[in-house]
Structure 1
Amino acid sequence: MDISYILNELGEDRSQYFNAVVPPIIQTSNFAFNSFADLRSAYRDEMSTYVYSRGINPTVDILRRKLAALDGAEDALVFNSGASAIYCAVMANVRSGDHIVSVQRPYIWAARLFDNVLPRFGVLTTYVDGTLVENIEKALRPETRIIYLESPNTLTYELQDLAAVAELARARGILTIIDNSYCTPLYQKPHALGIDLSLQSATKYIGGHSDTLAGVLTGPKALLKKIFDEQLLNTGSHIPPFDAWLLLRGLRTLPMRLERVSQTTRQVVKYLKQHPKIERVLYPFDEDFPQRELARQQMNGAGGLLTILLKADSHAQIERFTFALHCFLVAVSWGGHESLILPQAGGMDPADFDPAVERHRLARLYIGLEDADYLIRDLEQALEVL
C-alpha cells in the first residue's frame, strides 16, 4: 500500500462529513442506537462499533486504520500514552506464575511494570543483553510467555536481531513485543520480521509537534481484541478524539519530517565525531557503531536521536555545557520540531557523579527541524565552555 495513500486517503470518507478536506473531531462521549438488535450487537463486540468513546470513536478509527497500514498489521489500538500501550499489551498476556524475558534497561515505565507491578501478581522478569540471541534463549523457561524487545533502545541504541528472536519465540509459542518508538513504522517494520506486537510512543514522531500524548499498538486483530476487551476498556486508556485528530495532522508530514531530521542528524554526527571534547558518538547508522550492519539490515533509517560521551571530569562541567546551549532545550522525549538534550548527569546527585563511569558522562541529543549549521554553531560555543 502506497504511503501517500495511507497518510492522505486511507480511512477518510469525505462524503460522510460534508466533503471536508480534514476529518472532523467527533467530540462525543456517547452514541445512540436505532434498534435493540443493534444495541445487543454492540454489547457483544464493542471494538467493532461505536458505543462509548472510552472504546472506539470515529476520529480514532481513521487514525487506527492508518497506523495499522503503516505497520503492515491487521489492526491497531491507540492509547493515551506509550506507557499505557506497554501496560495493556503485557497485562493482557500474562497470568500468575508466568515469566517474561526483557532486554536490559527498557523504557522506564516498562521496567517499573516488570519490577514493581507484576511481581505482586506472581509474574517475574529476567533481563538480558539482547544483542546476542543466545542470551535470550538461555533465559527462557517453560513458563516464559513474553519476550520484550526495544530495538534500538533510546540511549545507547543496542539492537536485537528481530527475525532471529521471532523465529526462536514462534518455535516455543512465546509472544514477542517490541517497543519500536525509535524507528517508527517508516524506518522499521517489526511485523515483517515476525514480531507479534509492535508498540510506539506516538507522542514523538507521529505527533511531531510536542503537543499531545499517545501510544500505538499494532498486531493481529485477535490479539488486539483481547487487549481491548481485557485492558483498554478496564483501565480507561483510550485516546480522546481531539488527540487522535492531532495525530492525524502529524501523520501528514511524517515522511518529510523524518527525512529532514535524519539528514541534519548525519551532519551533526559528522561534526561531533571530530571534536576534541567528545570521546565517542553513538548513532546506529554511524560507521563506528558496533551493530551498524544489523541496523542497516533491519532498519531503513535512524532518525534524530544520538548520544555523546563527553570528556568531562565533573558534574559541574556537564551542567555548564548543558545550559550554555541556546538551541537545545533540556527536556525528555523527542520527535518534535525542537532540538533537545538530556544528560545522564542531570538526574544524579553531584556527589554520586564518577567520571570513570562512562554512563555518567553520556548526554542524549535529539535533532529537530532546525538547520544543521544553526545547531552546530550552538554546540561549538557550548563545548568551548566545557
Structure 2
Amino acid sequence: MKKKNNDTNSGQHDAKPQDLSYEGSMVTPIFQTSNFSFESWDAISDAFDNRTKSFIYSRGNNPTVEVAQRKLADLASGEKALLFGSGMAAISAAVLHCVQKDGHIIAIKNIYGPTNNLLYTYLKDKMNVSITFVSGVELGEFEAAIQANTNLIYLESPSSGVFSLQDIRSVAALAKKNGIKTVIDNTWATPFFQKPLEMGIDLEVHSCSKYIGGHSDVVAGVVIGSSELMNQIFKKEYEWLGARISPAEAALITRSLKTLPLRMKAHEANALEIAEFLENHPKITSVNYPGLKSFKQYDLGKRQMSGNSGLLSFRLATNDLEKAKTFFNNLKKFRIAVSWGGYESLIYALAISYVKEMTKDQFETTGLTYGDMRLSVGLENVTELTQDLEQALDLI
C-alpha cells in the first residue's frame, strides 16, 4: 500500500499545515529544517513569486511556525499572524512598518520601557520621528495631538505599571478618520480576554513570553492583523530584519494555546482575590487592577475586555527604601523576577529599573515611589499567596 505523502518538500508548498494529518500525530511535529527542496526550476520560481505562503527557507515560513501563527490569528480574530524571536522584535517590526522618516507618533505615557526607548530615542535619532505622549484617558488628548505628519497611534491597554485603559474603539475610529495606523500591545489581556482587531485596531502585538507561552520557557513575540498588512510586513520587516522564531519555540506556543483559557481564568481568579486583600490592608495605599470595582476605569474595562489577567501593582504606605526592601526580601512564595505570565507568582519593584536609568530628581517626577510593587499572580494556592503577603507586610 502506497504511503500518503505528507512531505512539505514535495512541491505542495501552499498547503495549510494544520490541515495535514502528519501521520495521525496528536501534536504538531517540529520541522527542524532551515531549507526546503524543490522538484524543478519552475517549482522554486513559483514559490518565490508566492513566498508569503511558500516554504522555501525557515527565515520566512516553516510548517511548525505556521501552525502556531494560524492559531494565534484565529484566536485574535485576525487574518494573519507572524511570530518573531521576542516581543520587542514584534513591536519593532509593527512600528517600523507604520512610521515614516520625519513622521510623528502619538503614544500613551505608561508603555513598556524598551518600547518607549524605541519610539522616543531610537526613531528620533535615526529617522527624525517626533513623539507626543498622552495619558490616553480622554479621546480629546489623541485628537489634540494629531499633526499633519502623524503616522501612528501606539496603545497599550491596560498599560504598564499602572494598568490604565484607553477607549480602543474610539481611538481606532479617530485614527481611521485621519488616515493614521494603530498598533496596540495586548500582552496583558491576551486575545482570550480582549480582541482589539474587532474594535478597529490595525495591528495587535504580544510578548508571547508572557501568558501566551505561559510556562516561562519561551521568548517570542507576535504581530496580528489583516492579510494585506501582514503580507507587507512579511516582505519587509519580517524577512529583512530576520528576527525569526525557532520551530521548537513555535511548537511550545501551540502547546500553550491549548490551555490558555483555563490558565487565564485561574490567573484572574487568584489575582482578584489578592487585589481585594491588598485593597483592604492598612499598609497598602493603592492597588492598580482593572478587575477591582474601585478601579477608576472599571466600566470601560467591562465594555472592552471579557476578563482580567494576573498582573497588578500596588503601593506600600511607605516611601522608605529600607522598609520596601524588608517587605520585598521577606516574601517566600513570590519569586523575584522581571518577566511575568507563567505558573510562578513573581514580584518586582518598579524603582529597581527606574533609579538605574534616572537621577533622583528625575525619578521623583515620575510619580513613582520605592513602595510601588508589581505582582504577577500565578497559579499556586491563593490562600498561601495571601498569607505570604500578609507576613511580609507585618514586618514593615
- Aligned letter for 1:48? K
Instruction: Tell me if structure 2 keeps the 8 A contact 1:305–1:367.
Output: yes
Secondary structure of the residue aligned to 1:12 is helix
Match of 1:21 in 2: 26
Distance 2:31 2:152 in 1: 36
Match of 1:80 among 49, 66, 85: 85
Match of 2:94 in 1: 89
Match of 2:9 in 1: none
Match of 2:6 in 1: none
Distance 2:51 2:273 in 1: 49
Match of 2:220 in 1: 214
Distance 1:14 1:374 in 2: 45
Secondary structure of the residue aligned to 1:21 is coil
What is the CA-CA distance between 1:313 and the residue it aligns to? 3.6
Instruction: Tell me if structure 1 keeps the 8 A contact 2:319–2:369.
Output: no
What is the CA-CA distance between 1:351 and the residue it aligns to? 9.3
Secondary structure of the residue aligned to 1:308 is strand
Match of 2:65 among 60, 66, 70: 60
Match of 1:6 in 2: none
Distance 1:87 1:223, change over 3 A: same
Secondary structure of the residue aligned to 1:385 is coil
Instruction: Tell me if structure 2 keeps the 8 A contact 1:151–1:159.
Output: yes
Match of 1:114 among 103, 113, 119: 119
Match of 2:373 in 1: 363
Match of 1:316 in 2: 322
Give the unaligned 5+ runs of structure 1: 1-9
Instruction: Tell me if structure 1 keeps the 8 A contact 2:103–2:150.
Output: yes
Runs of at least 4 residues of structure 1 off by over 3 A? 349-360
Match of 1:327 in 2: 333
Match of 1:292 in 2: 298
Q: How many residues align?
A: 376
Deviations 1:131-164 (A, max 9, x none): 1110011010111111100000121011110110
What is the CA-CA distance between 1:364 and the residue it aligns to? 0.6
Distance 1:217 1:280 in 2: 34
Q: Please state if 1:105 is matched with 2:118.
A: no
- Provide TM-score, normalisation by structure 2: 0.92
What is the CA-CA distance between 1:87 and the residue it aligns to? 0.5
Instruction: Tell me if structure 1 keeps the 8 A contact 2:319–2:370.
Output: no
Secondary structure of the residue aligned to 2:26 is coil
Q: Please state if 1:377 is matched with 2:387.
A: yes
Deviations 1:37-60 (A, max 9, x none): 221122223221001101110000
Distance 1:173 1:283 in 2: 33
Match of 1:38 among 43, 56, 60: 43
CA RMSD in angstroms comes to: 1.8
Match of 2:343 among 322, 337, 341: 337
Identity rate of aligned residues, in percent? 40
Distance 2:251 2:203 in 1: 24
Secondary structure of the residue aligned to 1:213 is coil
Distance 1:28 1:355, change over 3 A: closer
Match of 1:47 in 2: 52
Give the unaligned 5+ runs of structure 2: 1-15
What is the CA-CA distance between 1:357 and the residue it aligns to? 4.7
